[in-house]
Amino acid sequence: MSEDKRKKDIAEGQDDGKAKESRRDFLKKLGVATAATTVAPAATAKAGSIAEALQTHFRLMSDDEKKNAIARLEKRYTEQFSKQVTVADTPAPEGVLFGYALNISKCIGCRRCVEACVRENNQSRDPAIQWIRVLRMERGNNTFELKELNEGSPSSNPLGDYGIQSGGHADKHVGLSGSTEHYYEPEQVPEDDAIYFPVQCQQCEDPACVKACPVRATFRDPNGIVVIDYNWCIGCRMCQLACPYWARRFNWGEPVLPNEDMNPKTHYLGNRPRMRGVMEKCTFCLQRVRDGRYPACVEACPVGARKFGNLLDPKSEVRKILATKKVFRFKEEFNTDPKFFYYMD
Amino acid sequence: MKKQIASASQKPIAFARDFFSYAIKGGNLYYGWLLFLSFFVVVGLYTSYVQMTKGLIVTGATDQIIWELFISNFIFTAHIAAAAVLVVIPAYIYKREDMKHLAVLGEIIALTFVIIGLNFIFFHMGRPDRFWHAIPGLGIFNFPSSMLTYDIIVLNTYLGINLVAVSYLLYKRYLGQPINTKFYTPLIYVAVAWGPLIHIVTAFILSSNAGISAWHTAVLPFAFLSMAGASGSALIIIFFLLIRKFSKMDIADSVIDFFSQVIVWSLGIIILVFASEFFTELYPGTHHAASLEYMIHGHHGLNAYVPWFWWTMALIVIPFILLLSSKVRKSYNFLLPLISLVVFLIILIEKPAVLVFPSFSPTPLGEYAVYHPTLIEIFNVLFIWASGFIILTLLTKGAIGVLTGEVQDSQTVEGDAK
């Protein structure tokens, strides 16, 4: 992504913003602008960024510090994206453990969830960052061939060929299995010969990533969601190494998010725009679910394969699925105890 | 009395002045070497500016292969820093007279390589400006849960121990005073224990990741320590042969022989470690062996690492066989330094090309990838190496001046004259 293109995006966004903004906002901005010119705007911006650089972990901030940190961010984002951006600090609701259930027999691999997630959570468009990967797997096993029935290794043995096949089909398998890919580009979905398996952060109860973080920038929130304080992350990527689900994404460069695509309703621990050099991942749309709404991927799924709810509530939809469907969890051998369940009808 | 105290407080400054003014003096070859290193520092200043302003996107790292050349080189510097105790152990634990005066050179190697390693970690961080978040007291220290916190402790302690030990000994020598063994000897014993410790912890940083099956093996610390023994001794041999050639320092053949023996033993252990790892992986042939198979014969035509793997294996086995011959080990002017250079370089290259990059394939979601280092990344690596070697050269030169008595406190000299 070139610097010029970014500047252009920002400029275009400003134009859009001006056309829409009300007279009161305009006057307010004018006031800010005149004030800023008299007190040197660069100095105030610099003071803000120094304060941001020196702030502590979000969980350790006092109420005042939180308020200041959020005000700083709102100011910075509002200027950067030329629209009124809010950074919420909605607390975790009491008595809730969030859980997710995904019906793999319904998933058609359309990746609308991916798109909705990118839009909702302000992911960088270039380099493109996506929190959900949809794996495509070959349906069935179409390489079984009769003529290979007696082919195998070792077919003969210099120490004595007894005509007894001992090594199995070690070198030349009859049929293939387990190959997946997530860069498929079909004409249309679902494809006849494929099944789909979406993967995102599994919100583990025993998260390997949280254990590995040297500064506790990533931690489990009281609702069981694993979140990141983007301002505390040092970018060491130990969490990314530890995660067996490939659920974490790193901002290798400055994230690029066009103004018109920016979702201005954000949460401090959720979808607020990230900076260069920090980790990010799925938070079950924390900014939505703390307000009692569904995650964006759940709403976007056209076939209703995605279900979400409170695991502590026996009457919730997820609990009903856990009780009645064929349910499994991904990579159980890692013993991370995910709250993301896969099921079949 | 007052005057004496004042002059005593001036002493360390005089020491530093005398030490470095001796260290920067040398012949044309010496200046040529420093100039050669400075070239990479100058270029590196620009390339690090690019990385610090643009982020790690200027390196070859991606979400598929998340460790770059920096951290791969860091593991290697930990090899050398740990192996430097091989100079100290014979001197202080086995009381070898021919090595007693060399122990401080070993500590200088340890000191320099910990500094180089910490630099590599700094370049590896996505937000180096937030390093204070990991300082206990100032930030949050996720101890004992995070393996990285152990590494922060052991590396910085090792740096501190060696810094104190080196400057204390050289300062006392400079003044012509005997060292206080009640203070110095325990310090040396701690340093001896600490050397392997930094390396074992570094191995745990890798092996604690169950998701990366190539690293999730208990032999990793053994592999690291044996590689430290080989590559560290290789560097020490070259280092000592150069010192012997270019300075008045007296280094006996028996010292060089000791280190060539250590290389042989270490290479032998590396071969055993590799063999047992390969057997354990390949015989059952589960998915756990996927990255090893990727290295050995590629994956669907993706075979960039195959030659690196086989060359590494060959250049570990061939030096081992050659060094079994005492004729080769005694060839101080040709074969021994050449083989040492090969061992040093192959274990350096093994880090990114065999240990780090291929281990990321397949990713947890089954992708195979090849790492492509960028020029900026390579120049940043050379920058860190070059500045490290400048430190090593200057410290060694100054230390030799002190040890041979060329750098001395002026009062001591006067006293001697009387």
CB A233 within 8 Å of CB A224: no
Residue in the structure block whose two tokens are 């990141």: A228
- The b/e string for B83-104 (b: 16+ C-beta within 10 A; e otherwise) is bbbbbbbbbbeeebeebeebbb
For residue A310, what are the β-bridge partners?
Answer: A98
Cα gap B309→B295, rounded to integer Å: 6
Check CB contact under 8 Å for A253 and B55.
yes
Provide the pLDDT confidence category of residue B193 given band limits of 50, 70 and 90. Answer: very high
Which pLDDT does position A288 carry in this prediction?
Answer: 97
A126 interface with B at CB cutoff 8 Å: no
Ranges assigned E (strand) in chain A: 86-88, 98-103, 133-138, 180-181, 194-199, 218-220, 226-228, 249-250, 265-267, 279-280, 306-310, 326-328, 340-344
**Rounded (5°) CA angle B137-B124-B202:** 70
What mean pLDDT comes out for the span B30-58?
A: 97
Percent of chain A with pLDDT over 90: 70
- In sequence order, the β-bridge partners of residue A133 are A199
- Verify whether the Cβ–Cβ distance A277 to B54 is below 8 Å: no
Q: Look up the pTM and report it.
A: 0.90
What pLDDT is attached to residue A179? 74
Nearby residues of B133 by Cβ (< 8 Å), 6 or more positions away: A215, A217, A232, A234, B139, B140
Q: Give me the phi and psi of A57, to 5 degrees please.
A: -60, 140
pLDDT over threshold 80, residue A41: no
- Is the pLDDT confidence value at A80 over 70? yes
Chain A contact for B131 (CB, 8 A cutoff) = yes
What confidence tier does B287 reach under pLDDT thresholds 50, 70, 90?
A: confident
- Tens-digit pLDDT profile for residues B237-279: 999 999 999 999 999 999 999 999 999 999 999 999 999 999 9
d(CA B278, CA B204): 20
pLDDT value of residue A177: 57
Chain B residues with CB-CB distance to A238 below 8 A: 146-148, 205
Rg (CA), chain A: 25
What pLDDT does residue A37 have? 46
CB distance from B130 to chain A under 8 Å? yes
**Between A242 and B1, where is the model more confident?**
A242
At residue A228, the 3 state secondary structure works out as strand
Q: Give the pLDDT confidence of A3-40 residue by residue, as tens digits.
A: 444 444 444 434 343 334 444 444 444 444 444 444 45
Is residue B392 predicted with pLDDT exceeding 80? yes
| Identity of the residue in A170, A214, A276 whose CB atom sits nearest the CB atom of B142 | A214
